[in-house]
Structure 1
Amino acid sequence: MIKISKEALLVRSALLSKGLENPILKEYNDIKEKERELLIAKYIYKIMCVLNLDVKNDSLKQTPTRISKMYNNEIFSGLDYKNFPKITLIDNIIKSNDMILIRDIILISTCEHHFITIYGKATIAYIPKKKIIGLSKINRIVQFYSKRPQIQERLTKQILVVLQILLETKDVAIIVHMDHFCVKARGVCDVNSVTITSCLEGWFKTKKSVRDEFFLKNNM
């Protein structure tokens, strides 16, 4: 049985205390994976029947199973903290205090209001103190919290807080640009608009020179 890591428990507790955790009923779902897939497939099948689709058609008959596996193993896998990425942190023995910035991190998530895709890019920066994190781990943290039904505002703050907790520093900044298909493909059907959210803490918020450097590098 896969256990929830101490890092996952730590960041989950921090998000709960700040009211930033997703509306998840339990720390983890105790329904066995195979049973969960069968239950999801069962209800997708019923929805398709209500929509008057021929569920015996060769093109459609495996759709409930495909959607179930997709929900469980891919696009909603971030609901289970057993899937939280393994985190690599190293002591900042070189005493680095220069900004570390990663641009164009891809986010693909799902709007929790309509269960339709939202996607975009993030820029994340931090100034090391005691710890430095493996660069790919930042991308994996972004992916983990993206693989949930989400709202962009919460997702932005979640990523920032998680990095603050793991890196033991307030000096973290994030800016997120996302396209929402709940806007593009339904309702107003505005295919051009982009939603931008940002969160800056520590020196990124209080020191103009640091903030200016962050936005300059983001726009290079």
Structure 2
Amino acid sequence: MIKISKEAKLARNALLSKDLENPILKEYNGIEEKERELLIAKYMHKIMHILNLDTKNDSLKETPYRISKMYNKEIFSGLDYKNFPKITFIENIIKSNDMIIVRDIILMSTCEHHFITIYGKATVAYIPKKKIIGLSKINRIVQFYSKRPQIQERLTKQISVVLQTLLHTKDVAIILNMHHFCVKARGICDVNSTAITSSLKGLFKTKKSIRDQFFLKNNMQG
């Protein structure tokens, strides 16, 4: 069993308690990384063969292994909590209770219905209590949960719950504005539309002045 960090356990348990974890069968299925890569490459090779592709062609023969490596180490790396970011907390000794916002976080994810790209931007805000998190760690948490087969609605709530859990504050706000290639490249083939989801918790939901301030700063240019 691969050990995961204390913060990763807290995040995972918080999501499980709210039925917000991805549909993962087990925390760890016993398949080692090398074996997993070989199995994915093997079945990808079969898919390509079924599609009538010449897998001996110089351009295609390494494709199953490239896809396997991409799935394991890149676009689906968030399925494994051993890859959860190392979190740096700072005690809030200055008693800051002002809104902290990180805007324009670029994220890439994968639609779990079609295994095709979703990409866009996130805005994350929180009002600190006893702890402040290193700013880059917010980006890393967003990107960790995006590196999975996802639906945007779940991803939005996951980021919110994990930040509430790790920072011990209810006051968290999230906005995701995403382009879905399952809409752009297939089906309706609408290349212009985007999907916006949000999660407002604590004072961001109950106090109008704070909510208005958050949306104003999110929409500011530059």
Give TM class, smaller chain: over 0.9
Indicate the residue corresponding to 1:64 in structure 2. 64
| Aligned-partner SS, 2:42 | helix
Indicate the residue corresponding to 2:113 in structure 1. 113
Distance 2:134 2:165 in 1: 15
Distance 1:98 1:29 in 2: 43
Indicate the residue corresponding to 1:205 in structure 2. 205
Paired letter, 1:180: H
Deviation at residue 2 of structure 1 after TM alignment: 5.4
CA contact (8 A) 1:129 1:168 kept: yes
Indicate the residue corresponding to 2:171 in structure 1. 171
**Which 10-residue stretch deviates more, 24-33 or 209-218?**
24-33
Paired letter, 2:167: L
CA contact (8 A) 1:29 1:80 kept: no
Indicate the residue corresponding to 1:54 in structure 2. 54
Paired letter, 1:127: I
Paired letter, 1:161: V
| Aligned-partner SS, 1:179 | strand
5+ residue gaps in structure 2? none
Paired letter, 1:187: G
Cα shift readout 1:103-145 (whole Å, capped 9, x = no counterpart): 0001100000000000000100000101000000000001100
Report sequence identity in percent.
85
Indicate the residue corresponding to 1:131 in structure 2. 131
| Aligned-partner SS, 1:27 | coil
Q: What is the TM-score with the length of structure 2 in the denominator?
A: 0.98
Distance 1:147 1:113 in 2: 15
Distance 1:23 1:2 in 2: 20
Indicate the residue corresponding to 1:142 in structure 2. 142
Distance 2:30 2:159 in 1: 26
Q: How many residues align?
A: 220
Cα shift readout 1:57-97 (whole Å, capped 9, x = no counterpart): 00000000000000000000000001100001111000000
Distance 2:63 2:128 in 1: 47
CA contact (8 A) 1:28 1:81 kept: no
Distance 2:9 2:29 in 1: 15
Indicate the residue corresponding to 1:218 in structure 2. 218
Cα shift readout 1:165-213 (whole Å, capped 9, x = no counterpart): 0000000000000000000000000001000000000000000000000
Distance 1:28 1:211 in 2: 40
| Aligned-partner SS, 1:16 | helix
Indicate the residue corresponding to 2:24 in structure 1. 24
Distance 1:8 1:165 in 2: 11
Deviation at residue 3 of structure 1 after TM alignment: 2.1
| Aligned-partner SS, 1:70 | helix
| Aligned-partner SS, 1:44 | helix
